[in-house]
A and B are shown apart, each in its own frame.
Chain A
C-alpha cells in the first residue's frame, strides 16, 4: 500500500502583501533594478512555506543571478529592435517585422524552457535537488514547430502540442537521482481539447479553463520518478473559480490586492498536488548541478509572468 503525501502551505496573505509592497516600492525607487531581488525574495518566501512530510522546500535562486541573466539576454533584444529600426520606412520593413514576430515567439519558448530549468535547478526539498538538462534553443525550435502545426490545424492539434511540450520538458527532469518520465499519449488530450474547443463559444471560453485542469490532471497523473507518482486532483470548476476570483480581485483593486491572488494560488497548488510513494526511501543526490546561463532573462524581457512553479 503506497502512502499519499500531500503538500502543505503555511504562507499568509499578509506576509505576501508585505513582501510584494516592499518590492514594488523599492522597484519604483531603484527604477526597476530591484525587481530581480523582489522576485527572488517572494519565491524564497513561497518555497519556504511549502512543505511535505514536515520538510520545507528551498529556493536558492538570487536576484543577482536573475539580474545577470537579464543583462545577458538584453543585447539580443536590443539587436532585434535595432534591426527593425534600421529597416524602418524601407521596402524590407514588412519582412523585417514578420521575422521579428517569428523570433519573438521562438525566443519566448526558449525563455520558457530556460526559466523552468533555472527554477528547478534552484529548488530542493530535504537536500534533494531538482535538475533539468536539455538545450533551451533546441526546445524553442521544437515548440515553435509544434505551435505552427497547432495553428494550421485551427487549434485541433492543441492537445497534441501540449502532450509533446510536456513530454519534452518533463522527460528531461531529475528529482534527486531519479529520472522523471511522462508516459501519457496524445490521444487522450486530443479528445479533451476537441470537446472544450467546441464548447468554447457557448461557454464564453470557460471550457478552455476546464481543458487546462483536465490536461494537467492527465499529464501529472501520468508522470512519475522511480516508484513515486504525482497525484493531481484538479477539477475544472475549481480552477475556473480560482481564475475568475483572481481576475475580479485584481481588476477591482487595480492590482493592489494581487498578493491575495498569489496566496490563493499557492493554497490551490498545495491542495491539488501530492506524491504517492514512500518518501523515506527518496535519497539526496550528490551530482553537480548544471544551471541555465540565460536563466530567466529572456523570459523577463518578453514581459512574461513566471511563478515559482
Chain B
C-alpha cells in the first residue's frame, strides 16, 4: 500500500522537530544578524544602500539648494561629532512632499522626505528626528535589518514555498519595535551631548500623536513597525530624567528658514 509507512507517531515527531527548527530560525537568526552585520563589507553595505535609495532619488529627485544643504550638513555634523562616529553620515532630502518619513540605510546614509521636513515646526524637532535616525545608524540597525529580514524571508520562502510576506512582516514587527526604543535611547544621549536637548523630539512626537494633526501628518507607513508614540514619549522622558538640558539652537533663523525651504 502507498504511504503505509506514514504513522501518527512519525508525524508527531516531525511536528516537534519542525517547531523546534522554526523557533531556532525565528530567534536564532536575529541573534546571528548582529555579528554578521558588523563584518558586512563596506562596499556591499554601500551597494545595498544605493539599491534602497536610488529608486527614491530617481522617482522624486533630491533637494539640492546649496545654502539649504550647508545648513543640513552643519546640523548633521554637529550631531555626528557628538557621537564620535567612525563612518561619515550623509543625509539627503527626497523631494516627496507627501511622504512624512525618514529612514536610515546601511553605510550611514539617511533619507529624509520633504513631507516630514515640512511637518517640523523648528530646528530642534528636525534635530530630534535626525538624532533618532543617526542612532539607528550607530546601532547598525539598517545592516542588521538587511541581514535578518532577508535571511528570514529566504528561509520562510524555502520552507513554505509561497510568498511569506505577511508571516515575515509579523515576525519582524517585534524586532523593529525593540530597535525603535533603542534608537530613542541613544538619540536622547546624542541630543544632550550636542546641547540640543530632547524637547524638539518630544514635541514632534506629541505633534504627530495629537488628533488635530493626524490629518496633516499621515504617519501610517512610518509607524507600521513602530511602537505606540505615547509609550515612546514616556520612555524618552524617563531616559532623559525629564529634560535637564535646555535647548539651544544650532542654526541661525535664516539658516533654518533656508533649510526648511530647501525643496522649494
Contacts and interface: CB of A to CB of B under 8 A. Distances in A.
A89 B51 CA distance: 11
Interface in A22-45: 22, 25-29, 31-32, 35, 41, 44-45
Summarize A's interface: helix, strand, loop or mixed.
helix
B2 A35 contact: no
A303 B161 CA distance: 9
A267 B159 CA distance: 31
Interface of A: 15, 18-19, 21-22, 25-29, 31-32, 35, 41, 44-45, 48, 89, 303
A45 B2 contact: yes
B12 to A, nearest CB: 10
Contact of A22 (B6, B58, B162): B6
Given A18-B8, A29-B17, A41 B158 contact: no
Contact of B3 (A15, A27, A32): A15
Contacts of B18: 25, 28-29
B160 A28 contact: yes
Given A25-B18, A89-B55, A31 B3 contact: no
B159 A31 contact: yes
Contacts of B161: 27, 32, 35
B159 A28 contact: yes
Contacts of B21: 28-29
Contacts of A18: 3, 6-8, 11
Given A27-B161, A29-B17, A29-B21, 13 more contacts: A18-B8, A22-B10, A22-B11, A22-B14, A25-B11, A25-B18, A27-B159, A28-B160, A29-B14, A29-B18, A35-B161, A48-B2, A303-B162
B85 interface: no
Contacts of A31: 155, 158-159
B228 interface: no
B159 A44 contact: no
A25 B13 CA distance: 10
Nearest to B16: A25
For the complex of A and B, list the 5 residue pairs with the smallest distance between their C-beta atoms, beginning with the closest. Answer: A31-B158, A25-B14, A28-B159, A45-B2, A44-B2
Interface of B: 1-3, 6-8, 10-11, 14-15, 17-18, 21-22, 54-55, 58, 155, 158-162
A15 B11 CA distance: 12
B11 A45 contact: no
A27 B160 CA distance: 7
Contacts of B15: 21, 25
Which of A18, A35, A89, A303 neighbours the largest number of chain B CB atoms within 10 Å of its CB?
A18
A44 B3 contact: yes
Contacts of B160: 28
Nearest to B8: A18
A48 B1 CA distance: 8
Contacts of B2: 41, 44-45, 48
B95 to A, nearest CB: 18
Nearest to A255: B162
A21 B8 CA distance: 10
A29 to B, nearest CB: 6
Contacts of B162: 303
A130 B14 CA distance: 37
Contacts of A89: 54-55, 58
A31 B155 CA distance: 7
Nearest to A303: B162
Contacts of B1: 48
Given A18-B11, A22-B11, A41-B2, A32 B54 contact: no
Given A31-B159, A32-B161, A19 B14 contact: no
